[in-house]
Amino acid sequence: MFRWERSIPLRGSAAALCNNLSVLQLPARNLTHFGVVHGPSAQLLSAAPEGVPLAQRQLHAKEGAGVSPPLITQVHWCVLPFRVLLVLTSHRGIQMYESDGSTMVYWHALDSGDATPVQAVFARGIAASGHFICVGTWSGRVLVFDIPAKGPNIVLSEELAGHQTPITDIATESAQGQDCVADMVTADDSGLLCVWRSGPEFTLLTRIPGFGVPCPSVQLWQGIIAAGYGNGQVHLYEATTGNLHVQINAHARAISALDLAPEAGKLLSAAEDSFVHIWKLSRSPESSYIEVEHCHGECVSDTQVCGARFCDSSGSSFAVTGYDLAEIRRFCSV
């Protein structure tokens, strides 16, 4: 069971974007950072465990060429082995900051040369894999940036071509030195999933076809892919083979966010139907088949939920954002 704790006020509503919440826990300082997108700006907040906001910062998209200020599409903290960077994507490009947002260390402008006049140019979908940061784009390509241990000498090392429609989300997990392990999955607007093995050169292992609806959010845990779709379903696939093991009719409207608590194997799903559900993932000892159990359901009344994340790796608390909701709502286990 979870209960509603003290909310964290925002300066304005979260934008109606999927995956519109990023959380970075700093146990050594007993702080949690939250990042939320609203139009051409992103709000960064630091809060103590009891929910008292201690600091706020506002970041704006780098304008580049154009008349109107560009809209931000996502903000996300990337935890690398040696540093943490805050990545911000927009209709103009990709900005990387030190973890507190104080200093921009890298800017990558999007090339709109391949876009037709009716195509929107943007970046969306952010994840860290080893010492790389991967960012999706409107063209379906995934940009792979090689991140140094310190400093701004970030290099675009590779472009992955597995998708034909805009990337929606990217998920990774540590391969822990194992060869031929699927440790990254990318999703797009057609519902197609591409499963990759990261490394000095990324390798496409398998494709999981879509079925006519977008896949706004995806997660990866111990070889299990959790994919949330625009029809409210959550599918659980075997990463190495792409085989579908479980299909959950989780929500009445489109999924807006998925998250995983890796220590506990808990999966969080949130959708536009105002519900957040917690699921427990496991494997059958006999067959190694993926099994799922529903643990909790929470209704955020009269709210189009657009972001939801666990606040810790054990899944004992989570936070939710919603369109036209000027606060981050926090829920803790009891």
Residue 320 domain-assigned?
yes
pLDDT at 177 (0 to 100)? 47
What global pTM score does this model have? 0.94
Residue 66 domain-assigned?
no
For residue 169, count CB atoms less than 10 angstroms from its CB and return exposed for 0-12, middle for 13-18, buried for 19 or more: buried
Residue 144 domain-assigned?
yes
Residue 86 domain-assigned?
yes
CATH code for the domain in which residue 249 is found: 2.130.10.10
DSSP 315: -
Residue 244 domain-assigned?
yes
pLDDT at 67 (0 to 100)? 61
For the chain, what is the domain count?
A: 1
Element (H, E) at 297: strand 290-299
Query: How far apart (Å, rounded) are the C-alpha atoms in residues 22 and 158?
Result: 25
Residue 129 domain-assigned?
yes
Query: How far apart (Å, rounded) are the C-alpha atoms in residues 268 and 187?
Result: 18
What string of pLDDT tens digits covers the 334 residues of the chain?
Answer: 888 888 899 988 999 999 999 999 988 778 899 999 999 999 999 988 766 667 789 998 887 655 678 899 999 999 999 999 999 999 999 999 999 999 999 999 998 766 666 678 999 999 999 999 999 999 999 999 999 999 999 999 999 999 999 999 999 997 654 555 889 999 999 999 999 999 899 999 999 999 999 999 999 999 999 999 999 999 999 999 999 999 999 999 999 999 999 999 999 999 999 999 999 999 988 888 899 999 999 999 999 999 999 999 999 999 999 999 999 999 999 8
Q: Cβ of 109: how many Cβ atoms within 10 Å? A: 11
